[in-house]
Amino acid sequence: MWRKSFLTFLFSLSVQKAALDCDTRINKLLSPSLDSEAKAVMRGQNVSLICSNQNKSLQITYFLFRREKHLRTHDGKGEPMIFNLSISEAHELGPYKCKAQVSNCSLVKYSQEFNFTFVGGDGCPFCLQLLLPGLLLVLIVIILILAFWILPKYKTSRESVQGLEPRQCVPTAQDGTGCSQEIHYATPVFQEVAPRVHEACSDCKTGYIYSELIF
């Protein structure tokens, strides 16, 4: 019976010692820092995130998160952990956060958030894809408005001008059904004809000259 009590005492003592040791290490654990050599990146660029802690004597497990998504895990002691990533899309810019946890301890500490930015206006990758169809749609609408607004006025003015200039219809086909819009002018031909006798002046010898129009 006394052996069982002695073993229980030793077990509780070891547990208390482990808890005390864990608390001591947690107190020595500082919040990790998360940084990168390049904060402004281009699309598709490979980058490195460095997570480190000032306490070099603790065995620390580092966890890298992007928002709430866990990305990588590294264990280390005394040296910073490097996480290699590739930034291709806008949602991959961040925010990133590093979690440091001492081995065999449940308490953890987090770093400040870190964000990347795109260089040279690439921060909006879909702006041009949305802008070009929009401009094309506006151009089509303008063309349709001009077409429906100008063409009727043009036709009306053209019909009014044609109504002011009548043209002679000349058959062009053998059956006379064809109608040409060309204008044909008559050429006068003057000929001398014999004088005609009038009842009112039978003795008069006045001569007359008549002309005939030939079409």
DSSP string, the chain: -HHHHHHHHHHHHHHHHHHHHHHHHHHHPPPPEEEES-SEE-TTEEEEEEEE-S--SSEEEEEEEETTEEEEEEEEESS-EEEEEEE-SGGGG--EEEEEEETT---EEEPPPB--EESTTTT-TTHHHHHHHHHHHHHHHHHHHHHHHHHHHHHHHHHHHHHHS----EE-STTS--EE------EEEE---PPPP-STTSS-------EEEE-
Last residue in a domain, options 95, 118, 141: 118
Q: What integer pLDDT is reported at residue 9 of this predicted model? A: 40
Write down how long the chain is.
215
Burial category of 11 from C-beta neighbours within 10 Å (exposed 0-12, middle 13-18, buried 19 and up): exposed
CATH code, domain with 68: 2.60.40.10
Residue range 115-162, pLDDT digits in tens:
999 886 544 555 656 677 888 889 999 998 888 888 777 777 776 666
Residues 116, 90: Cα–Cα separation, whole Å: 9
pLDDT reported for residue 104: 72
CA torsion 19-20-25-28 (nearest 10°) is 140
Give domain status of residue 22, yes or no. yes
pLDDT value at position 19? 45
Residues 134 and 67 both lie in one domain: no
Q: 103 with 128, same domain?
A: no
Same-domain status, 103 and 86: yes
pLDDT digits (tens, 9 = 90+) for 28-48: 677 888 999 888 998 888 999
- Measured CA to CA, the distance from residue 65 to residue 191 in angstroms comes to 114
42 lies in some domain: yes
- Provide, rounded to the nearest whole percent, the portion of the chain with pLDDT above 90: 13
Q: Does 42 share its domain with 136?
A: no
Q: Which residue range forms the structural domain that includes residue 107?
A: 2-118
Across the strands, what pairs with 179? 171
Percentage above 70 pLDDT, the chain: 54
Both 13 and 114 in one domain: the answer is yes
Domain-embedded: residue 200: no
- Residues 47 and 105 occupy one common structural domain: yes
What mean pLDDT, rounded, does the chain reach? 71
Q: How many domains does the chain have?
A: 2
- Quick one: pLDDT at residue 207? 57
90, 118, 146 - which closes a domain: 118
> For residue 177, is pLDDT > 70?
no
